[in-house]
Amino acid sequence: MQEQANSVEQLLPHLFRQEYTKMTAVLCRHFGMKYIEIAEDIASDTFLKASENWAINGIPKNPAAWLYTVAKNKTKDHFKRAAIFENQVRNELIKGKLQEEQHFEFDSQQIADSQLAMIFAVCNPANSAEAQICLALQILCGFSVEEIANAFLAKPETIKKRLLRARANLRNDSFQLINLTEADIKSRIETVLKTLYLVFNEGYFSKTNDQLIRKDLCSEAVRLALVLLENPLTNTPKSNALLALMCYQSSRLDARISHTGEAIAYGQQDSRLWDQSLIDRGNYYLINAFDGPEISKYHLEAGIAYWHSTPADETKWQHILQLYDQLMITAYSPIIALNRTFALAKVHGYEKAISEAEKLDMNDSNYYHQLLGYLYADKDVEKAIHHYRLAIKMTRSKVEQQTLMKEIKRLSPSDQIYRNKGKQF
């Protein structure tokens, strides 16, 4: 019995992450976004019943099918006994605004269509970028409030308030989950791509030292991007470029952190740890991304990531710099300019890169000071250490702090201030 319970405990979290959001999407497509909380309750109750039933009766041969059958039955029961549905939703069902109860199914096409519609519903332009990311993590990826708070290094109460406001906008939105049209897609595709891009970046450039959450964020963004490619209306060059970027970046995740939890700079990464299968997938999607005349920021960033995933090419940094030059014109941002400076150092030397970096005057950015610390390391040790200390004060990531402290120790092993870092930092 104990062994059976352990098996259930191992399987359910995996199934929850994989099936909960699909189940919720189909239920919301059936009820409408106005009743999203009820859809989530039914999905949650389904998994609760699974944990109770499977621990006693064992795991069924097809666990996912078992879950969907229970969810379907719970939904039918809800229609019968919940007065709110009889009084407020039943009339809408009769009018045909939502699917009729007898046509309610969890088939593969329903799940695919519902997931895609849910992505577009959640990416509501009425919400801020941060709120959209939080909603996407909770509704599309099944993350708990605590997990989202950890990812943002924020208090759970802060995340709860953000989600409450965003959900209110979601319920009040007239966006339809049934029969997602080409016009619906065109009106929100840019917001959808940006949200998935930001979700991935929250994982890839995560401040948290929780490796599991970090990788989960990236894998969920990839999963949602794959949903876009499954529909002809959303399988666009931009969508392919974004997925190519995610694959290239994901391929180096295991090489970016040491077994002791320290961050490893790109130049020190063991390329043997790069996932070649993800690089190959990135190549496939990048080729598909050029099936048209448009070159977006996702194309350019995917191109940069491609060259980063190519370990032995003498001209790689020239190619990366050229792509950054184009990206500066297409989608300028201070962080893009800062990243370009690193490529500039590789091509034209650190002296020129320092001059370009200091023109940016990004004194409030820990990445700015990290870069200057790196660029000054062989030129002016005192300045390098100064910038590294500023970066340590500005970052909330313990991993980054430990890595920078180690770099300071490497540059100045006898530094008394470093030995008393607890008082300084």
pLDDT of residue 82: 58
CA–CA distance, 313 with 319 (Å, rounded to integer)? 10
**Average pLDDT over all residues of the chain:** 85
Judged against a pLDDT cut of 60, whether residue 380 lies above it is answered with yes
Output the pLDDT for position 397: 80
Highest mean pLDDT among 157-161, 207-211, 242-246, 398-402: 242-246
What letter represents residue 345's amino acid? A
Please tell me the distance from the alpha carbon of residue 206 to that of residue 151, in angstroms, as a whole number.
Answer: 7
Percent of the chain with pLDDT over 70: 88
- Phi, psi (rounded to 5 degrees) for 321: -65, -40
Give the whole-angstrom CA distance, residue 323 versus residue 307. Answer: 10
With a cut of 60, say whether residue 212 has pLDDT above it: no
CA pseudo-torsion sign 300, 306, 307, 313: negative
SS3 263: strand
Domain map (residue ranges) of the chain: 1-106, 111-234, 236-312, 313-353, 362-425
Q: Is the pLDDT of residue 83 over 60?
A: no
pLDDT tens sequence across 99-124: 444 456 677 888 888 889 899 988 88
| Residue 314 scores a pLDDT above 50 | yes
Q: Give, in order, the Cα–Cα distances in Å from 176 to each of 121, 150, 195, 257.
A: 8, 32, 19, 43
> Could you tell me the pTM of the whole model?
0.83
Mean predicted confidence (pLDDT) in 43-69: 91
Q: What is the 3-state secondary structure (H, E, C) of 46-110?
A: HHHHHHHHHHHHCCCCCHHHHHHHHHHHHHHHHHHHCHHHHHHHHHHHHHCCCCCHHHCCCCHHH
CB burial class (10 A; 0-12, 13-18, 19+) of residue 91?
A: exposed
Q: What is the tens place of the pLDDT at every residue in 241-278? A: 999 999 999 999 989 888 777 778 888 889 999 999 99
Please write the tens of the pLDDT for every residue from 179-201.
Answer: 778 888 898 999 999 999 988 98
Whether 95 has a pLDDT exceeding 60, the answer reads no
CB 64 within 8 Å of CB 106: no
Q: How confident is the model at residue 418 (pLDDT cuts 50, 70, 90)?
A: very low
Percent of the chain predicted with pLDDT > 90: 47
